[in-house]
Chain A
Amino acid sequence: MKPDGIYLAGVNKIYKGRSKTVEALKDVSLSCPTSSFTALIGPSGCGKSTLMRIALGLETPDSGKVLLEGVTPAEATKIGKIGIAFQDAALLPWRSVRRNIEVPLNVLRKPIKDYTAKIQEMINLVGLNGFEDSLPGELSGGMRQRVSIARALVTTPKVLLMDEPFGALDQILRRQMNVELQRIWDETKATTLLVTHGIDEAIFLSDRVAIMHANPGKIVDIIDIPFERPRKMSLFSDTSFHKLSIQIAEILHGQ
């Protein structure tokens, strides 16, 4: 049997601050089958980013098990199986768009010249052709965000972890990027975990929506999303889409 793309079991994480202790994650288990798209939604401070950081190996859990494609996060990142996009584009201001996309390749010590075609493909994919040599300071917020998505995809990752990658975008651009992301995902079929604040975004993109509550941070429910792919913009105004949104909102607010 093939291992799950993302597998977390019984993960606990407690932060001891100066004044109080925060149970950021309590007994969190989540398994995302290979090539599935999971959205993670929850109130601010419920531990979404913490979960993501643990999955990336940036933070060690107090207890519990984390596997990506059957190996530990540290091993998975080393062999370049992971793509990452953060809440904030986090670009290097002195590198051009193209050179920013090269960063993961630099870290993984891959020869850039084998990837020139791939890099161009990614730039085209996110619609930034013509801006290859621009510095991040010369781009709009949305364009920077798209650079970070291209950067996340350049290693052809098996697992894609994204923490509110569209957080900084306006509603219109956000919708456009949702459609783009769906297309990209369709092509790559990477196991994806997307942290988001938008219920509609979660439903539109994912196969399953995992809902979290805060204090302590835990996953309270996982809802399957039945819509056919590829999904179109018109889905946003569908009645069954609305029903599902309301259902998720109710779980989110604890009713």
Chain B
Amino acid sequence: MVNEPSNSKTMYRNLILLVLLWEVVGRLDLVAGGALPSLSEIIIRMWIDRHDYPLHIGSTLYASSAGFLIGNILGVCAGVLFVLYPMTLRLSRGFNIAIFSLPPIAIAPILVITLSGMAPRIVLATMGVYFITMTATVVGLSQADSRTSELIRAYGGNKLQILRLVQFRSAIPSILAGFRIAAPNAVLGAILAEFGGGGRWGLGTYLLGSLGRGEPDRLWGIGLMATLISGASYFLFVVISNRFLKGSTSITLNTAIPTDITKNEHVLKTFFITMGAIFLPISIWWALIFFSGLPSMIAKTPWGVVEYLFFSNMAEAAQGRLVAAIAETLPITFIGMTAGLLFAFLLAIFSSLYFQVIRAFMPIALITQTMPLVALTPLLVLILGRGNSLTLWVTISVTFFPAFVTLTQGILLVPSLAKDLPKAYGGSKWQELIIVTIPASLPYLFAATRLTVPRALLGVMIAEWLATGKGLGNLLNQSRGYLDYGMIWTVAAVSVLLSIIFYQLVVYTERKVLGKLGMKTAE
């Protein structure tokens, strides 16, 4: 990450300009007839509401910290297990993809009916954290210097000693980076669960409760508070990792290629592992229902869902509603995601021509990473109303920012030597763009797509749930109201499945395209 003094100076200048502009626009009620109040108005309102905040904040903080803690413990332990026994990593692939790509809002109602109290919120926060920390741990541990690992092995050291003496310590920067990204995600998870289920306290509940009352200044105050909390959690870990990481970076480049475990493997073995990976999440679902001891009326097993959708007396009606909802949700997800990605790609490419632009804009783009963007949908409702354009803008905004950050950081990694080559032959900036920058950023475009698939679906479903009354999000919300448990489980299962399919499609295309170009995938 770029973090030089001159950089932060321009960042502060830009921030101050932004706030001034906001103040003027807000005071003059320029946006949607006062839907965007000025910062000072919002702060005054927050002061008036000051007695409401502590309990709401406390509740959200409690759920997200508990989820953060549990998710990190699970993530680090799973990461260690996966590295020690690579077979477990392959077996858990299905489970991991499911956790990564499922839209949290889809399973929030399920958690609310199967668990009670704070548990649904903690679980959702945990799920937001687990995947990030697990990946960071695996990447960190396996990037450890293989030469020193061999030294330990040569002295008769076992896997655990390699882990303790070499891998764990060298994984710490990566794990800390994971914590940093996971912290805002825990807050987001908690707020989404508050949207999805009852409970009196929590910023999500507060936001939802204030949505119908037409008080923009209060809504913005809550949104700002949520952003502040998740931003603070992010910067806490920035400070910690800066403290910790002084002067112990590796000295020489490790050129050893990680061993390919699928080499020379019997086809049957590969087949069974793949089957295992597919059936593990389904078995976990089954086992959880079984051990929860909930009545089958409420808690559906995988088979229960199939039965509901195909063999029950309401099967036909259920199918009809489901298909109609999917038909509403999918196109707008596609459009929003494509627009967000395209916009990000173009902007990243063009700002690479003007280096200063990236450097000035990057810190602000990074800050957006810590915002619980999806959770701020109620604010967009104020400005955009409850039509399709709301869904579109939510989707674009939740895909644009992460994609832009991924792409720009990727472009910054293009060695300047490679860029100098066209220059040395008298090439123009455009030639440099076409010959070097665009091809080099392709892996990052795919990485960004992988990252945004689940977010896009989440964005659409949240907008549908809270505002537009269409598609899968609305179907979920309605079924919740009608206590149509079969449909709740079905929508959850279908949206997870859709996410997984999308994700796998992207991964497949990525392998094909990058393979053909002889490029490696970017993490």
Contact = CB atoms under 8 A, between A and B. Distances in A.
Nearest to B149: A90
A84 B248 contact: no
Contacts of B429: none
Contact of A90 (B151, B248, B264): B151
Interface of B: 145, 147-148, 150-157, 161, 165-166, 169-170, 247-252, 264
Given A107-B161, A107-B165, A86 B151 contact: yes
A137 B154 CA distance: 24
Given A92-B166, A108-B156, A103 B251 contact: no
Interface of A: 16, 56-58, 74, 77-78, 80, 82, 84, 86, 88, 90-94, 103-104, 106-108, 135-137, 144
B153 A94 contact: no
Nearest to B169: A94
Given A58-B150, A107-B157, A107-B165, 5 more contacts: A92-B170, A94-B169, A103-B152, A106-B165, A108-B156
Given A58-B150, A107-B165, A93 B155 contact: no
Nearest to B166: A92
Contacts, number: 67
B210 to A, nearest CB: 50
B152 A107 contact: yes
13 contacts: A57-B154, A58-B153, A92-B148, A92-B165, A92-B166, A92-B169, A93-B250, A94-B169, A94-B170, A107-B157, A107-B161, A108-B156, A137-B251
Contact of A88 (B157, B161, B249, B252): B252
A77 B156 contact: yes
Nearest to B249: A93
Listed from nearest, the 10 A-B pairs whose CB atoms lie closest are: A77-B156, A90-B147, A94-B248, A107-B157, A78-B156, A107-B155, A56-B154, A84-B154, A90-B148, A104-B155
Nearest to A161: B154
A77 B145 CA distance: 21
A144 B251 CA distance: 10
Contacts of A16: 264
Contacts of B170: 92-94
Contacts of A136: 251
B151 A84 contact: yes
A74 B158 CA distance: 11
A16 B170 CA distance: 32
B48 to A, nearest CB: 52
Contacts of B148: 90-92
Nearest to B248: A94
Of B157, B248, B251, most A-chain CB atoms within 10 Å:
B251
A56 B169 CA distance: 25
A107 B156 contact: yes
Contact of B248 (A80, A82, A135): A135
Nearest to B172: A94
A245 to B, nearest CB: 31
Given A107-B161, A135-B247, A74 B156 contact: yes
Given A86-B151, A106-B165, A93 B156 contact: no
Contacts of A74: 156
Of A57, A107, A135, most B-chain CB atoms within 10 Å:
A107
B155 A80 contact: yes
Contacts of B157: 107
Contacts of B155: 77, 80, 82, 84, 103-104, 107-108
Of B156, B161, B247, B251, most A-chain CB atoms within 10 Å:
B156
A137 B245 CA distance: 13
Contacts of A78: 156
Contacts of A103: 151-152, 155, 165
A58 B155 CA distance: 10
A94 B156 CA distance: 22
A84 B155 CA distance: 8
A78 B170 CA distance: 25
B248 A93 contact: yes
Nearest to A103: B165
A74 B153 CA distance: 10
A102 to B, nearest CB: 10
B254 to A, nearest CB: 9
B166 to A, nearest CB: 7
Contacts of B247: 135, 137
B223 to A, nearest CB: 42
Nearest to B150: A58
A93 B144 CA distance: 11
B242 to A, nearest CB: 16
Given A86-B147, A103-B165, A106-B165, A93 B153 contact: no
Of B150, B153, B249, B252, most A-chain CB atoms within 10 Å:
B252
Contacts of A86: 147, 150-151
B248 to A, nearest CB: 4
Nearest to B161: A107
A93 B152 CA distance: 15
A82 B154 contact: yes
Contacts of A104: 155
B159 to A, nearest CB: 12
A88 B147 contact: yes
Nearest to B156: A77
B148 to A, nearest CB: 5
B154 A90 contact: no
A88 B250 CA distance: 13
A62 to B, nearest CB: 14
A34 B154 CA distance: 20
A91 B251 CA distance: 9
A77 B248 contact: no
B302 to A, nearest CB: 40
Nearest to B144: A92
A125 B148 CA distance: 23
